[in-house]
Amino acid sequence: MKNKKLWKYFFIIPVIIYVILLIALPLIYILIISFFQSDYYGGMISTFTLQNYIDIFDQVYINVFLKSIFVAGVTTLICILISYPFVLAISHKKPATQKILMTLVMVPFLTNSLIRMYGWLVLLRKSGVINQVLLGVGVIQEPLSLMYNMFGILIGMVYTLLPFMVLPLYSSVSTVDPQLLEAANDLGASKIKTFFKIILPQTLPGLFNGSLMVFTPALGYFFIVDILGGGKIMILGNLIKNQFLTARNWPFGAAISIVLVLITSLVIFAYRKLGGKMEDLGGA
Amino acid sequence: MSKIVLKIDHLRRSFGDKEVIKDFDLEVYEGEFLTLLGSSGCGKTTILRAIAGLDSVTEGHIYIDGKDVTSLDPKFREVNTIFQNYALFPLMTVEENIAFGLKMKKVDQQEIKKRVQEMLTLVHLEGYEKRKPRELSGGEQQRVSIARALINNPKVLLLDEPLSALDQKLRTKMQLELKGLQRKLGITFVYVTHSQDEALTMSDRIVLLKDGKIEQADTPIKIYEHPNSLYTAQFLGDSNLFQGVVTKVDVKYAWVKLEDAMFKVFSNQLQVDMPVDVIIRPENIKLSLKKKSDSVFEGKIVDSIYDGASTQLIIRTGQREIRAMLFGNDKEYVKGQEIFVTWDIEDVILFKRDTDEK
């Protein structure tokens, strides 16, 4: 008995070391230096100050927060609107077809996302493929501004994060008994009513899980904003990156990071309060 | 006879190259309890789903109350289905489940509440309003699904093997309850099952299906006592099969010869040398300890299976095993006994055998 228990711990040890070394310790470090003071030369003075947190309430930074939440929110919404019909459509297909289609969703992951962003440049820029085709066909006279603006950022975000919505939604939708949909139809419900009364409530955990997995990284994916936003738009990710790497104000960057972690935690907390189960989050 | 409430006209259904339903015709009368009986794969569920509109048809028409509904969406059809696994909505309470159909029809809230209460009383589930399906037993879930369907006042209630997930005792109880409900409400039931017991106990009429075609459609008594094919005779009830040849025919009787025995049957339309299949139901087998003039076989009791109300005896004679059913606890016969077997000539079920078979 005792031996068996020891063995169990033995296999958990790598995970524990991983979590402590790469997640817990850096987070504690960030928390600590967020109360330090920057010495304006890239170094830090180890005191205790709340100044970094107070600075965040500057209108400039509040706007960055709001814009980030807007970008992440719209990205999540678009991902939901694309994923639900897709997932519902493939859930009626044969199991083999479902597997192939889901694999196709995963294929982009095989390429580095930074490289894929440069791929979008080729498509979206003024002299890019899309504009060339539209000009050639005569649909437009002037090339469209498809990037270096909010539109470009949203395309990049949705494109990169879509699989994180599709996967949890798919696993959630595939647990809905098809007979329930037939029963609803039999009892007089239209397709739309069936969706809102039967499918949506049952797939809410998957929807929330997916939203969390899209919303959270969307707040911080600075490289998408850098490449497709052309440096004109700033979200939290860029702000933090700039504080650490450009302005070299580590304490302030740390403070913003902590606020970001708090926002995410708050969302999860709200989910639990609303009756969601944490197992459902990990379930996908 | 009363009004036809459901009519199926030359229905065909193919899945790929396979034709599952072949030219199926059926008329169901108002208030009738009709059972579609057949082994798995005979197409009975396909027919039910076609009536409900959950599956499309390849050819033919379906009329409900005189109206052609062949291409009508299920939500507009005045029929409701009881699904095999009940298909209750797991996140809704019993009350919300039952109210679903009326809510979809935008019936007034007050009216819905009243009707839900009526339904709960009808299926004996008062006080269960706020429970979730997962908190109910199989039988209770079944009742909720019945209430959920009946609240819509369907013209026809379709039941797809509704009792197959229940244990034996509960199944017998629900059989009676379903039959009682059907009588009380006068609603037409179309009931799909592979169980001959359910079909015989509940139905006004049984439609026995074989390979997507009707083998026989009749009342339980007729289909059991006067089956018109060997398949029907063997599907419904236990049977002893004797395959023989007609050797002699006179005005009234004919004689069937087996390898080791000979017996008399009524001669209608039989001719000498005709191969025949003879079915004798176990409950019609008559036993005696002494040889009588009409004894057909002499055998030995090799097994005796006591079943409470009846006892089944297995009698071996030559290579053959004969099953006999005795009612009550008849101690007269015991295992190992030598015994003589016969039956009344009226209990013989006889079919001419097509020579190309087997």
| Domain CATH number, residue B311 | 2.40.50.100
**Domain match, B108 and B176 both:** yes
Burial class (CB in 10 A: 0-12, 13-18, 19+), B83: buried
State percent of chain B over pLDDT 90: 50
Give how far Cα A216 sits from Cα of A156, A164, A219, A235, A272, Å. Answer: 15, 11, 6, 12, 17
> What gap in Å lies between CA B356 and CA B333, rounded to an integer?
41
pLDDT score of B285 more than 50: yes
For the residues A200-218, what does the mean pLDDT come to?
Answer: 90
Please name the residues in contact with A208: beta carbons below 8 A apart, sequence gap of 6 or more.
A271, A276, A280, A281
Establish if B338 belongs to a structural domain. Answer: yes
With an 8 Å Cβ cutoff, are A183 and B73 in contact?
Answer: no
Taking contacts as CB-CB distances below 8 angstroms, the residues of chain B near A189 are 75, 100, 104
Cβ distance A202 to B90 less than 8 Å, yes or no, reads yes
User: Is B76 within a domain?
Assistant: yes
* A199/chain B closest Cα distance in angstroms: 10
The verdict on B226 and B269 lying in the same domain is no
- Taking alpha carbons only, the member of B358, B350, B356 closest to residue B242 is B350
Residue B60 domain-assigned (yes or no): yes
| Residue A6 included in any domain | no
User: Is B87 close to A189, i.e. CB distance below 8 A?
Assistant: no
Q: Which of A177, A182, A187, A196 should one mutate to test binding to chain B, selecting the residue with the greatest count of B CBs within 10 A? A: A187
Domain that holds residue A166: 75-282
Is residue B12 predicted with pLDDT exceeding 60?
A: yes
Q: Is the pLDDT of residue A1 over 60?
A: no
pLDDT, one tens digit per residue, over B169-227 is 888 888 999 999 999 999 999 999 999 889 999 999 999 999 888 999 999 999 998 99
Q: What is the mean pLDDT of residues B89-96?
A: 95
* Residue A274 falls inside a structural domain: yes
Going by the DSSP 8-state scheme, the letter that residue B224 receives in this structure is: H
Q: Is the domain of B105 the same as that of B163? A: yes
Residue A102 falls within a domain, yes or no? Answer: yes
Residue A49 located in a structural domain: no
| A190–chain B nearest CA distance, Å | 7
The type of residue at B137 is S
Does the residue A8 lie in any domain?
no
Phi, psi for A255 (deg, rounded to 5): -60, -45
CATH number, domain at A251? 1.10.3720.10
Check A186 against B148: CB less than 8 A apart.
no
Residues in chain A within 8 Å Cβ distance of B152: 187-188
Q: For residue B147, what are the domain limits?
A: 4-235
pLDDT at B358: 40
Mean pLDDT for the stretch of residues B117-137: 93
Q: Indicate if the pLDDT at residue A284 is higher than 50.
A: no
Q: Smallest CA–CA separation between A263 and chain B, in Å?
A: 30
Q: A186, A191, A192, A207: which to substitute to probe chain B, counting the most B Cβ within 10 Å?
A: A186
What is residue A283's predicted lDDT score, i.e. its pLDDT? 40
Task: Please answer yes or no on whether A184 and B100 come within 8 Å at the CB atom.
Answer: yes
Residue B13's pLDDT band, with cuts at 50, 70 and 90, is: very high
Residues A105-121 have pLDDT tens digits of: 888 888 888 888 888 88
Report the distance separating Cα A159 and Cα A168, nearest Å.
16
Say whether both B257 and B192 belong to one domain. no
Pick the residue from chain B with its C-alpha nearest to A182. Answer: B54
Residue B317 vs residue B117, higher pLDDT: B117
> Which residues of chain B lie closer than 8 angstroms to A177, CB-CB?
85, 87
- Cβ–Cβ < 8 Å for B224, B56: no
Residues paired with B263 in a beta bridge: B256
Residues B229 and B339 in one domain: no
Closest to B148 (Cβ–Cβ): which among A187, A193, A198? A187
Q: Do B101 and A201 touch (CB under 8 A)?
A: no
Size of interface A-B (CB pairs under 8 A): 55
Same domain, B201 and B221: yes
The answer to whether A185 faces chain B, any CB pair under 8 Å, is yes
The identity of residue A271, as a single letter, is Y
Q: How does DSSP classify residue B186?
A: T
CA distance B349 to B341: 17
Task: Take residue A20 and report the two structure tokens written for it.
Answer: 């402590």
Across all residues in chain B, what is the average pLDDT? 89
Domains of chain B: total: 2
Stronger pLDDT, B257 or A276, i.e. the higher one? B257
Structure pTM? Answer: 0.80
Split at pLDDT 50, 70, 90, the class of B32 is: very high
Across the interface, do B81 and A183 touch by the CB < 8 Å criterion? yes
Contacts of B81 in chain A (CB under 8 A): 182-183, 186
Q: Tell me how crowded residue A34 is: count the other CB atoms within 10 A of its CB.
A: 21
Q: Do B75 and A202 touch (CB under 8 A)?
A: no
How far apart are the C-alpha atoms of B149 and B147, rounded to whole Å?
5
Q: Is residue B194 located within the same domain as residue B70?
A: yes
Q: What are the E-state strand segments in B136-268?
A: 156-160, 188-193, 205-210, 213-218, 240-249, 253-257, 262-266
B54–A186: do the CB atoms touch at under 8 Å? yes
Of A183, A190, A202, the CB nearest to B87: A183
For chain A, how many structural domains are there in total? 1
Question: What is B103-161 written as a DSSP string?
Answer: HHTT--HHHHHHHHHHHHHHTT-TT-TT--GGGS-HHHHHHHHHHHHHTT--SEEEEES
Is the CB of residue A189 less than 8 Å away from at least one CB of chain B? yes
Q: Could you read off the pLDDT of A161-172 as tens digits, one per residue? A: 999 999 999 999
Of B54, B161, B73, the C-alpha closest to A180 is B54
Phi, psi of A108 (to 5 degrees): -55, -25
- Given CB atoms, is A182 within the 8 Å cutoff of chain B? yes
User: Is pLDDT larger for residue B6 or for residue B319?
Assistant: B6
Interface of A with B in 201-240 (CB under 8 A): 201-202
Structure tokens at B357: 């078979």
Q: Which of B208, B235, B262 is the last residue of a domain?
A: B235
**In which band, very low, low, confident or very high, does the pLDDT at A282 lie, cut at 50, 70 and 90?**
very low
Q: What is the pLDDT of residue A145?
A: 85
Strands in B253-257's sheet, in edge-to-edge order, are B262-266, B253-257, B240-249, B275-280, B349-352
Give the tens place of pLDDT for each residue, A235-256: 888 899 989 988 889 999 999 9
Rounded average pLDDT over B136-148 = 93
Residue A170 lies in a domain: yes
Q: If pLDDT is split at 50, 70 and 90, which confidence band does B157 have?
A: very high
Q: Which residue of B has its CA nearest to A203?
A: B91
pLDDT over 60 (residue A59): yes
In a domain, A29, yes or no: no
Query: Do B193 and B286 belong together in one domain?
Result: no
- B283 close to B275: Cβ distance less than 8 angstroms: no
With CA atoms as reference, report the closest residue to B44 among B182, B168, B190.
B190
Residue B358 lies in a domain: no
Report the DSSP beta bridge partners of residue B243: B277
Question: Which residue of A177, A187, A198 is in closest CB contact with B80?
Answer: A187
* Residue in A closest to B98 by C-alpha: A187
Residue A140 lies in a domain: yes
Nearest residue in A to B148, CA atom: A187
- Closest to B75 (Cβ–Cβ): which among A188, A197, A198? A188
Q: Which of A180, A186, A198 sits opposite B74 (nearest CB)?
A: A186
Contact at 8 Å (CB) between A71 and A238?
Answer: no
Look at B219 and A3; give whichever has higher pLDDT: B219
Q: What is the CATH number of the domain that holds B216?
A: 3.40.50.300
Query: Range with the lowest mean pLDDT among A117-121, A147-151, A223-227, B334-338?
Result: B334-338
In this predicted structure, the answer to whether residue A280 has a pLDDT above a threshold of 60 is: no
Q: Does A198 touch chain B (CB under 8 A)?
A: yes
Is B214 in the same domain as B273? no
Residues β-bridged to residue B303: B314
Smallest CA–CA distance, residue A195 to chain B, in Å, is 13
- As a whole-number percent, the residues of chain B with pLDDT over 70 amount to 97
Q: Distances in Å between the alpha carbon of B30 and those of B27, B124, B153, B300?
A: 10, 26, 13, 51
Burial A151-180 (b: 16+ CB within 10 A, else e): ebbbbbbbbbbbbbbbbbbbbbbbebbebb
Give the 3-state DSSP-derived string for chain A, with helices as H, strands as E and coil as C. Answer: CHHHHHHHHHHHHHHHHHHHHHHHHHHHHHHHHCCCEECCCCCEECCCCCHHHHHHCCHHHHHHHHHHHHHHHHHHHHHHHHHHHHHHHHCCCCHHHHHHHHHHHHHHHHCCHHHHHHHHHHHHCCCCHHHHHHHHHCCCCCCCCCCCCHHHHHHHHHHHHHHHHHHHHHHHHCCCCHHHHHHHHHCCCCHHHHHHHHHHHHHHHHHHHHHHHHHHHHHHCHHHHHHHCCCCCCCHHHHHHHHHHHCCCHHHHHHHHHHHHHHHHHHHHHHHHCCCCHHHHHCC
- What six digits make up the tokens of B36? 């579609």
Domain shared by B161 and B48, yes or no: yes
